Structure 1
C-alpha cells in the first residue's frame, strides 16, 4: 500500500482535525520534555529519556494514523466482532504472570521488549467500533429494552468488570460514558438510561467508598487542605502551578512545581505544568484546540454518508472529548483525582498511538461525507 500523501489527497481530509491532532501531538512532545527533564535526570541520568521515547511514540503514532487515513473505514465493520474479542483476550493477558505488568497496585499492562502496552486503550476503540457496527444493524430495534438496550448493558458490564479487576476505574467510567452517549445518540429511550443510572450509582458508591485509596481521594477532593502532605498534596501542588503561571506563565522550561513537587508531572498532570509555564493563555489555547477537534469530529458524524460511519465518528469524537474534559477537570480540582491521560499530550505510548489511530479513522470518514464527490 502506498502511504504517500500528496497535497491533492490531503485536501480530501478534514484539515482542521488533521492540523489539531498534529499540533497537539507536537506540543505534547515539547511539554513532556519540559515536564520530565528533572525526573529523568535523577532516575535515568538522562534528561532527555522521556523526550526520546515520546518522540518515538509520536512518530509511530503518525505512521499508524497515516495508515488508518488510507484504509476505507467500512472495513472495520467487517471485523468489529473479532477486534472486540481480540481486545478482551488482551485484557485477560494482563493477569498472567510473566506477561502482565503491575504498578502502584494496578495490573493494566502487557510487557513487551522496551515497551509496556496498555490494552484498555485499544479496548476503548474496539468497543466504539463494535457498537457502531451493532447500532447500524439494530437501528429499528434500538428503542426496545430487550433488543436495543439490555444486550449492550450485558456486554458493557462484562468489559467494565475486567477493567475494575485491573483497578482501572478511570477507563471503566470513560468507556461506560462513551457507550451510554452513543446509545442515546442512536435513539435509546432516555428512561432506560435514567433507570440504568439509578442502578449504577449505588454500585459506583460501593466501588469508591469501600476501597481505601479511592475513598481517600474523594475526601481529599472535598477538602484537600485537611491532609495537605498526603491525599491532598497532588491537587494543591497543581493549584500552585496554575497560580504561579498566572496569565502569561513563567516561560517554557521555567516551571518549578515539576521539580519533585508535583507528582505525575509528565503524565496525568502535564496540563498543570503547561499552566505554570505558559499561563492561562496557553491552557486556553489547548482547551480551544480540543474543543475545535471534538466539534469537527461531531460535524463529520452528522455529515457521514451512512449510519456506521456516523456512529463511529461520533464515538471517537465523544471519547476524545470526555478524556480531555475529565483530565482538565481533575487537574483544576473540579473532579476527584483520577489517573487519566490528556490525549495527545500526556506521556505514554499506548494512549498516544491508539489516539492517533482513532483520529486516522475519523479522517478517513471525513473523506466520505454527504455531498462530497
Structure 2
C-alpha cells in the first residue's frame, strides 16, 4: 500500500488518495509463469483469478510505462495522418478552393499536437484538481446552446457554438473528458462511501444528470447516452454498485422520453428508418464498402463522396473502406484496439487509484467512441452523430481527443515499473 499526495495546487475538496492494487490483480505465479488460483465451489477457476491473469498478461509485455505512453502518442498521430488522407481522398475538384477543408484539418491537427503537449505538461493530477470549475464551465457552455441565437444549428440540433473563423465548438465533446476527470476525483474523495446509495450514488447522479440533461436538451440523444455510459463505467471501476443504476433507469428513462418527445421526434424517424433498413447514408456506405473490396481503389478514383452525406465526418470510415478496402479498415480497427490496450496498460501501471481511473476512463472514451462510430457505419446500430476519433473532420473532437492523449500519457510520469505492479 502506498500513500500518494496530490499536488499542493489541488483544492481542498480533493482528498489524499490511498490506493492498493486490487486483490484479484495479484494471483500467485508458479515457476513456469502460470497463475496458481483458487477455485469456485463448482470447481472452475474464479473470475477474480482470470481477471488477475489478464492483468498480468498485459503488464508482462510492453516494457515501461513511458514506452506505452510513446505508443499511445504514435497511434494517435497515425490516426490523424489517416484522417488527413481521408480528407484529401474525398476532396472534389468542383469546388472553388478544393483543398480548403484539407488545409483547415491540417491546422486542427497541428493545434491538436500543441494542445496534447500542453495537456501532458499540465498533468492529470492538476487536471483533476481543476475538474470542478471545468465542469461548471462546461455547464455554462452547454447552457449557452439553449439560448435562442446562441448556437449553430445543424441536423436539427443546437450542438455547436459559432467561433467565427475558428469554426465551431461542441461543448458535449468537452464534457466527455471533464466528466472523466471529475468523477475520478469524486471517487477518490468518497472512498468507501461511493458504494453507498445516499452518500455516493445520488450525488454522482446529480452531477451526471445536470450534464446529460443539458446535452439532451440540444437535443443529442447519442451524446447523452455516451456520456451516461462513460461516466457509469468510470464510477463502477471505482466501486459504485451496478444495482443502484437499475431503479434510476427504470424510472428516469421513460420520464425523460415523455418529457422530450417533441424535441426527439426526429430520433424516432431515425430508429424507424434503421429498423426498416432504409437509411440512405448507411445504405450508400455499405455499397461503397463493397466496392472497395479487399485492397480498395486508387486514391482519387473513389465516388463515395458524391453520394454519402457527412463522409468527411461521421462516415469517414466509408472513404477508408472504398480507397483502402478491407485491409485499410482492419488497420484502423487494429490501431484503436492497440490504443485501448496501451491505455489499459498505463492504467494498470498507475501509481495510485486516481491515475488508474483517469487512464482507464480516457482510453475507454476514445475506444468506445470509435466502436460506436464503426457500429453506425456498418449498420449495427442506428445513426448517433458520433465522430471517428482523430479521423473525422472537425476541430472540437480533434482537440478534445488530443487533450485525452496528453493526460493519458502524463500518467506514465510517476507510474510503477511492470515488476513493481505485479509484485
Corresponding residue for 1:229? Answer: none
In the superposition, relative to structure 1, how do residues 324 and 213 fare at CA in structure 2: closer, same or farther (>3 Å)? same
The answer to whether 1:77 aligns with 2:128 is: yes
The answer on whether the counterparts of 2:68 and 2:343 sit within 8 Å (CA) in structure 1 is: no
SS in 2 for 1:254: coil
Alignment of 1:1-373 (within 5 A): 14-35=69-90, 37-38=91-92, 41-42=93-94, 44-114=95-165, 115-203=167-255, 206=258, 211-225=264-278, 232-259=279-306, 261-371=307-417
List gaps (5 residues or longer) in structure 1. 1-9, 226-231
Q: How many residues align?
A: 353
Corresponding residue for 1:3? Answer: none
Give the drift of 1:288.
Answer: 0.6
Corresponding residue for 1:228? Answer: none
Give the drift of 1:77.
Answer: 2.4
Once residues 99 and 301 of structure 1 are traced to their aligned partners in structure 2, the CA distance between those partners, rounded to angstroms, is 39
In the superposition, relative to structure 1, how do residues 217 and 207 fare at CA in structure 2: closer, same or farther (>3 Å)? farther
Give the drift of 1:142.
Answer: 1.4
The answer on whether the counterparts of 1:304 and 1:310 sit within 8 Å (CA) in structure 2 is: yes
SS in 1 for 2:168: strand
Give the drift of 1:254.
Answer: 2.1
SS in 1 for 2:181: helix
Give the drift of 1:98.
Answer: 5.0
SS in 2 for 1:253: coil
The answer on whether the counterparts of 1:12 and 1:367 sit within 8 Å (CA) in structure 2 is: no
Give the drift of 1:257.
Answer: 1.6
SS in 2 for 1:192: helix
The answer on whether the counterparts of 1:301 and 1:309 sit within 8 Å (CA) in structure 2 is: yes
Once residues 167 and 197 of structure 1 are traced to their aligned partners in structure 2, the CA distance between those partners, rounded to angstroms, is 19
Once residues 142 and 77 of structure 1 are traced to their aligned partners in structure 2, the CA distance between those partners, rounded to angstroms, is 17
Corresponding residue for 1:7? Answer: none
Give the drift of 1:185.
Answer: 0.8
Give the drift of 1:48.
Answer: 0.5
The one-character-per-residue Cα deviations of 1:317-336 (angstroms, maximum 9, x if unpaired) are 11111100000000000000
Residues 157-166 or 51-60, more deviating = 157-166
Give the drift of 1:129.
Answer: 0.9
SS in 2 for 1:367: helix
Corresponding residue for 1:4? Answer: none
Once residues 257 and 152 of structure 2 are traced to their aligned partners in structure 1, the CA distance between those partners, rounded to angstroms, is 28
SS in 2 for 1:326: helix
TM-score, normalised via structure 2 length: 0.79
Give the drift of 1:194.
Answer: 3.3
The one-character-per-residue Cα deviations of 1:185-244 (angstroms, maximum 9, x if unpaired) are 11122211333333355357658976332111111111224xxxxxx2111001101111
Residues 100-109 or 360-369, more deviating = 100-109
In the superposition, relative to structure 1, how do residues 157 and 69 fare at CA in structure 2: closer, same or farther (>3 Å)? same
In the superposition, relative to structure 1, how do residues 199 and 98 fare at CA in structure 2: closer, same or farther (>3 Å)? closer
Once residues 172 and 290 of structure 1 are traced to their aligned partners in structure 2, the CA distance between those partners, rounded to angstroms, is 23
Give the drift of 1:79.
Answer: 1.0
The answer on whether the counterparts of 2:68 and 2:342 sit within 8 Å (CA) in structure 1 is: no
In the superposition, relative to structure 1, how do residues 204 and 277 fare at CA in structure 2: closer, same or farther (>3 Å)? farther
Q: RMSD across aligned C-alpha pairs, in angstroms?
A: 2.0
List gaps (5 residues or longer) in structure 2. 1-64
Give the drift of 1:293.
Answer: 0.2
The answer on whether the counterparts of 1:209 and 1:215 sit within 8 Å (CA) in structure 2 is: no
